[in-house]
Structure 1
Amino acid sequence: MSKRAVLEVIALDVEDAVAAETGGADRLELVTDMAADGLTPPVAAFAGIRAAVDISLRVMLRLADGFDAGDVRALVRAARELRAAGADEFVLGFLDETGEPDLPALESVLAELDGCRWTFHRAIDRAADRDALRKRLCDLPGLDTYLTAGSAAGVDEGLPTLLAEAARRGEPGYEPRLLVGGGLRLDHVPRLRAAGVDAFHIGGAARPGGWDVPVSAAAVREWRTALDAA
């Protein structure tokens, strides 16, 4: 397969971002507070990272742990401030109490993003019905990616779902790119690449020393090499 796969790496700060770019990352997901699985970073953190690297940045819009939108006005305000600072790609995704997509919250935030490209994150792995969610979201402006492990439990359990969804790419609701992440390991890569998956997301895998230490450029380079070889 000649098409270069996208490698996205979670970054918390400038040091992470520079190491990820050095290792061969194509894009960064910018977050803070990984104890809550990644929340919206401060505008100053975005600005510092944007000044330090040249690769694409997708900024998380999520203010609390879980997949409830919470304070939608605060989300809209955060989106507005990040847009004013130059952010033009985002990550978001909200579910209601029944596991359905929270369309009012999504539409409120997307109105502020004004057509920017965005990823619907792993809320899809907690949805009541993945297929129905995709079809309900298919007309939302800017949606070009789903970040998913195929299962809330991670890629090991979700691999059959990922392979099935990869085979449906181009169908209604399945036009966005499949970005695989969540318990992803290098040994998953050959099978996913053979199925046509061309985007991969790593967090802990880029930090062999754990979340208390920065991203390792060498670890990112190992993933870059593996993706290019698969």
Structure 2
Amino acid sequence: MRTRVKICGITRLEDAQVAVEAGADAIGFVFYAPSPRAIDVAQAAAIVRALPPFVETVGLFVNPDASFVRNVMDNAGLSLLQFHGDEAPAFCEQFARRWMKAVRVQTRADIESAYDTYSQASGLLVDAYDPQRFGGTGQTFDWSLIPDERPKPLILAGGLNSANVAGAVEAVRPWAVDVSGGVEREKGIKDPSRIIEFIREVNRVG
């Protein structure tokens, strides 16, 4: 099974185009104002309109108001929602749109319980734990905590880059990998060569 790739934290059309041309399956936009990779709805919509067919467009939210999510959905053309905060299952489910839930991992039980709690999600994204931040830490975590039993697709995130992603794919065999900081030259600005090398490494083993 081929491992899919999501390039997250896109803020510029040229970065999205490089990612797609290199073979990315999904492009992620951060709709969370405190993030250095945050984007507004109009900017995201312009990028989405320029993408070719069959590229997933993902909106990342952290404890948002439902009205904000609906506004982004109506105007940005998202195909998938990603909830990265403390959202309850009922909140995530209300938008009648496919969604996935991020889990900041400290123990194996965090993942196992999330699979039960968020059983209606399209997939579960596992990320490094940081008490101060909802993702974007640039840190890996202990991949041995990830269970073999996965009721839904598992997306691996957290500190991935071209130097470690091949090992991550071989160790975890995730449905997809998600990268942001690991392919940047500065926060919010991607590095084309790092994107290309990251996807090449995933494809080499996954």
Relative to structure 1, the CA distance from residue 206 to residue 32 in structure 2 (aligned partners, 3 Å threshold; closer, same or farther) is: farther
Over residues 170-209 of structure 1, what are the superposed CA-to-partner deviations in whole Å (9 max), with x where a residue is unaligned?
xxxxx221111111233342353354223111111111x2
Deviations along 1:115-161, one digit per CA (max 9) or x if unpaired, are x221212x4426894122321221x3xx1222213654832x32211
> Which secondary structure state, in structure 2, belongs to the residue aligned with residue 36 of structure 1?
coil
Please give the alpha-carbon distance, in whole angstroms, between the structure 1 residues aligned to 2:91 and 2:31.
Answer: 23
Q: How does 1:1-230 map to 2 (within 5 A)?
A: 3-10=1-8, 11-31=10-30, 36=35, 41-54=39-52, 55-62=55-62, 69=63, 75-85=65-75, 86-95=77-86, 102-103=87-88, 106-111=89-94, 113-114=95-96, 116-121=97-102, 123-125=103-105, 129-130=109-110, 131-138=112-119, 140=120, 143-149=121-127, 151-152=129-130, 154-155=139-140, 157-162=141-146, 165=147, 167-169=148-150, 175-185=151-161, 186-193=163-170, 195-207=172-184, 209-211=185-187, 214-230=189-205
Whole-angstrom distance in 2 between the partners of 1:81 and 1:93: 18
SS in 1 for 2:99: strand
Cα distance in structure 2, aligned partners of 1:20 and 1:227: 13
In structure 1, what is the Cα distance between the partners aligned to 2:22 and 2:176? Answer: 16
Provide the rounded CA distance (Å) in 2 between the counterparts of 1:110 and 1:117.
8
3-state SS in 2 of match to 1:45: helix
Quick one: distance in 2 between partners of 1:199 and 1:136?
21
Flag structure 1 segments of 5+ consecutive residues without an equivalent: 63-68, 96-101, 170-174
Q: CA offset at residue 217 of structure 1?
A: 2.4
The answer on whether the counterparts of 2:13 and 2:47 sit within 8 Å (CA) in structure 1 is yes
Distance of 1:12 and 1:32 partners within structure 2? 11
Counterpart AA for 1:125? V
Q: Distance in 1 between matches of 2:3 and 2:70?
A: 31
Flag the structure with larger Rg: 1
Q: Is the 8 A contact 2:58 2:81 kept in 1?
A: yes
Q: Which structure features the higher share of helix residues?
A: 1
Give the TM-score normalised by structure 2.
Answer: 0.79
Query: Shift of the alpha carbon at 1:5?
Result: 1.4
Aligned-partner residue type, residue 117 of structure 2: R
Aligned length: 192
- 8 Å contact from structure 2 (residues 56, 79) kept in 1: no
Question: In proportion to residue count, which structure has more strand?
Answer: 2
